[in-house]
Structure 1
Amino acid sequence: MTPAPGRRFCGEHGQHEEENDRKRIPCPLDPNHTVYEDQLQKHLKKCNSREKPKPVYYVQDINAGLKDVTKIPEEQQVPISSLSKEELQDLIRKLKTASNGISSILKDQTLSHQAFKEVLNDPKNGECAFKHLKQQASILGHMEQLHLLGPGRCFVEFGAGRGKLSHWVDTALQDTENVHFLLVERATTRFKVDGKHRKRDSIFERLQVDIQHLCLNKIPILVKEKLSVVGIGKHLCGVATDLALRCLIESFTTQDDGINEEPSAKRLKSDNTQAGSNNFTDKERSGENVSESYNTVAGIVIALCCHHKCDWKHYVGREFFKKVGLGQVEFNFFQRMSSWATCGMQETISEACSSDVECGAQSSDADEHDQAYNRPECNSDSIQGLLTVEERKQIGHLCKLLIDHGRIEYLQQRGYKAVLQYYTDSTVSLENVLLTAVPNPCSVLQSTA
């Protein structure tokens, strides 16, 4: 800030000037900045720290999960490094027992999309750009395979950041009519790509709100247009995935007076759907014969990330954990142990960090991977040499799989066919698992009968 003519200090530090006859005081809304005392009332009306009116789609904690969660006793909140050999072995035994019957081998479903043909062959793009483009191309390939790219859709991108994923969906749809995009991001974002679409027919709208408080059935465009929703996300970090799933699945069924209550699971005709099964018929993929009044969510396509950031309070798979004899204490250990899947390999982690930096802007993905590597749980000395690097990596992957399977069962119980698969190679991104889900026509028809 530049001092005014004849002044020694700028306005922010004017109170230090002896000859200044105006007094500056800390702002009562944010003491990190000051204001002239005689202009306080005027400042309070425009201060950026003032409480702003909540948008109509803001419903406090609607996607939070449990209202009250009993905190884990301090004696049980211990670092993994402080566990004895017997305690660690007991945790691993519980993990393997709970994972028994869950296929640990995911299909390699690396796909692409025609919209990326030109950019993937453009030598002007560097390695960083290519890695992001390959991931985005595969995500769109899965959306196309599930027949989710079409008219009359509203694509809700959770953790949108700059909005690149929505940008490519719009590019793939080209002149498709009646397509809308909602970009959900709680932080202000620089270098947004939204402006490129203002002259197009597609409607882009940013919702600056935490997913925890987002109620989809109160968003004006969804209320007015009656569009089917497709939830998408690229590297949706930890707890944000659970908040997004609950936002998509329960926004259209949960009443305001029932916030945070767990809805009863829908009964399915068959419980034979497995996390590793991808045998959808064309009608199931396209959503034909599905009552629109029953479910307005046409599909979910989310690239998962950073399981060590999950939280028991918000986790959607609590019922699955309880069913296999596990609880909050075990979840607390497993979500931290999940970071073993992407650590112990410093060169690979460094590569992952560099690959997750958007060209021109810093992506939060890089920070998350970097934090995972620097966590005490990642240090080989922290578990006293009881496990090899490869053993830790396998256990970390098993922790991720168990957490993700809880999400799969949550979706299955609510009438969806849900699948986990590898959508890109681990050399492109260490976080290379994609969750996809589409409505299960059998359970829909049974519920509406």
Structure 2
Amino acid sequence: METKKCKFWLPNKNRFCANSSLTGSLFCGNHNSRSPGQWIPCPIDPSHSVLEQNLKGHVKRCPLLKQAQSLSVQPFYQKGINAGSDGEQEEEESGVDDSRLPTATISSEMKRKALHSMSVPEFCTLIEKIESFHDSLCKDVQESVQMPEVCRLWIKRGVEDRKLPFQEKHITQQASILGNLERFGVLKNSLGRKTSKCEEPVEGKEDGVPAVIEFGAGRGYLTQMLADCYGINRVFLVERKAYKLKADRSLRQNESMMLERLRIDIEDLNLNAVESMQGVPFVAIGKHLCGAATDLTLRCCFPEYRKDSSEQDTASANGNFEGLAIATCCHHLCQWKHYTNKRFFLDLGMTKEEFHAVTWFTSWAVDDNHGSDLSNTTNCTSHLQSIRKEQGDGDSNGVEKILSDMEAAERAALGFKCKWIIDMGRLIWLRERGFDAQLVRYVPPSISPENHLLIARPSH
């Protein structure tokens, strides 16, 4: 019997939807008109929604219920331990803890509407602040594109043997992340190193090589290059999703390798409760940790800076941390609640609402040609000043019109500047806590416009 196809027309693809239609309907589940009533996000998995009157029955049979239950019983699961809170700075000063209170996520649409509701003078003042802060804070950011010899040889061998899922832009980024860790003194060049497969690692560390934790590991190919090139024998991959075509099989071919996947959201990971991590020196890495995942990772690695940390957590964290390299991205997904350095923005005279506006601007950084970095060449302050004089408060659609009239290069430049300011706050957070830290461009924008790398190590 032939399956009936959905009759919803897709004008961009110039064809009908290819999904099967629902029983008794001309359309599939995606295109069938919704029942009247209030749809709310599923409390188990907010990526889908359900009718409010059906919620009680749905939570008992949600397909992800069993998965969520199995994840929550893991010994290192602690709900929201690395989340932060909206009033974090005020809590530090008043001693009141509201971290357990629910906080709504501010969506991109909510950020856009808040921005459009600004008056023209308010909007222009915000842009002037961004331009000024970028000029004063982001002068010492350096280019640091690296290709270590050990990585170059590894890539060449893998391509020749056809054993690598080779994508130049990704593998170039991976090599530069590792090269910057080597340049910064966190990793030691392993050329000429002879590693015995019969030799057992001692307390998670062999020949001065620490364990590695990759946050947001995905398929784990960054760790694969790191382990193969730098003699790493103990690896922890932190990832909340399940992936196919992982690097795990290749990594496990090394008989001396200890590999453990932690299936958990970084927000809920109590690193000191991972039994096999006890007393193990580690280096933390992450390639493209989207939005707030960077802030969650920083809190996870340094539990001594959480309000609920114990003396044992503090001693463990201080003694075990050996280095960090995080390639940040997707700054438009950042949230005030999770951001590590709220004090940085407050001291600049910016509010929580202005922070969310700054995060919304960052999405513009990927709108234009990525052949060159625009953040130091394009300034839209003078243009906005003339607009402020012409329009004042008279036009209710003033901000929306200004945004639509901006040139692509202006929009992209503003987006890049906002990215730098957000990452600069994270850099300052690390330095204020006594770490040696740098923020560099680790690949050219032609390889990826998301080219910020945050690296750190203990000051000693």
Q: TM-score, normalised by structure 2?
A: 0.65
Matched to 2:456, the amino acid is: A
Matched, 1:145 2:183: yes
Match of 2:213 among 151, 156, 159: 156
Residue 242 of structure 1 is matched in structure 2 by: 295
CA deviations on 1:55-80 (whole Å, 9 max, x unpaired) are 111112110111158778x9987254
Match of 2:241, SS state, is: coil
Shift of 1:388: 2.3
Which residue is 2:138 aligned to?
Answer: 103
User: Which 4+ stretches in 1 moved above 6 angstroms?
Assistant: 69-72, 74-77, 123-128
**Counterpart amino acid of 2:425?**
G
Between the aligned partners of 2:360 and 2:111, the Cα distance in structure 1 is 14
Provide the aligned C-alpha RMSD in A. 3.6
Cα contact 1:301–1:437 (8 A) shared by 2: yes
Rounded to whole Å, the distance in 2 between the matches of 1:32 and 1:59 is 22
Pairing partner for 1:413 from 419, 427, 432: 432
Instruction: Please give the residue correspondences for 1:95-244 in structure 2 after superposition, counting only pairs within 5 Å.
Output: 95-104=130-139, 106-118=141-153, 120-121=155-156, 122=159, 129-149=167-187, 151-174=208-231, 179-200=233-254, 201-223=256-278, 226-244=279-297
CA deviation after TM superposition for structure 1 residue 180, in Å: 1.2
Aligned twin of 2:69: 51
Question: 1:71-97 CA distances to partner (integer Å, 9 max, x unpaired)?
Answer: 78x998725455443332121022234
Query: Contact 1:152–1:227 (CA<8 Å) still a contact in 2?
Result: no
Bigger mean CA offset, 387-396 vs 227-236: 387-396
Shift of 1:98: 3.5
State how many pairs are aligned. 338
1:295-444 correspondence runs (5 A): 295-345=319-369, 383-441=402-460
Q: What letter is aligned with 1:431? A: E
Give how far 1:232 is off: 0.2
| Superposed displacement of residue 415, structure 1 | 1.2
Alpha-carbon distance between aligned partners in 1 of 2:449 and 2:76, rounded to the nearest angstrom: 35
- The alpha carbon displacement at 1:159 in A equals 0.4
- C-alpha contact (below 8 Å) 2:154/2:229 kept by paired residues: no
More divergent stretch after superposition (424-433 vs 108-117)? 108-117
- Flag the 1:69–1:100 CA change in 2: closer, same or farther, 3 A: farther
Deviations 1:112-139 (A, max 9, x none): 1233324544477999711111111111
CA distance, structure 1, for counterparts of residue 293 and residue 61 of structure 2: 31
C-alpha deviation, 1:421, in angstroms: 0.6
Equivalent residue for 1:90?
125
Give the letter aligned to residue 185 of structure 1. E
Q: Which has the higher contact order (CA 8 A, sep 6+)?
A: 1
Unpaired segments ≥5 residues, structure 2: 1-22, 24-55, 86-98, 189-207, 372-398
Which TM-score applies when normalising by structure 1? 0.67
Structure 1 distance, partners of 2:426, 2:134, is: 14
Q: Could you tell me the percent identity over the aligned residues?
A: 32
In the alignment, the residues of structure 2 paired with residue 90 and residue 308 of structure 1 have an alpha-carbon distance, to the nearest angstrom, of 21
> How far 1:323 sits from its partner (Å)?
1.2
Residues 299 and 305, structure 2, Cα contact 8 Å, conserved in 1: no
- 1:234-254 deviation digits (Å, cap 9, x = unpaired): 11111100000111112x565
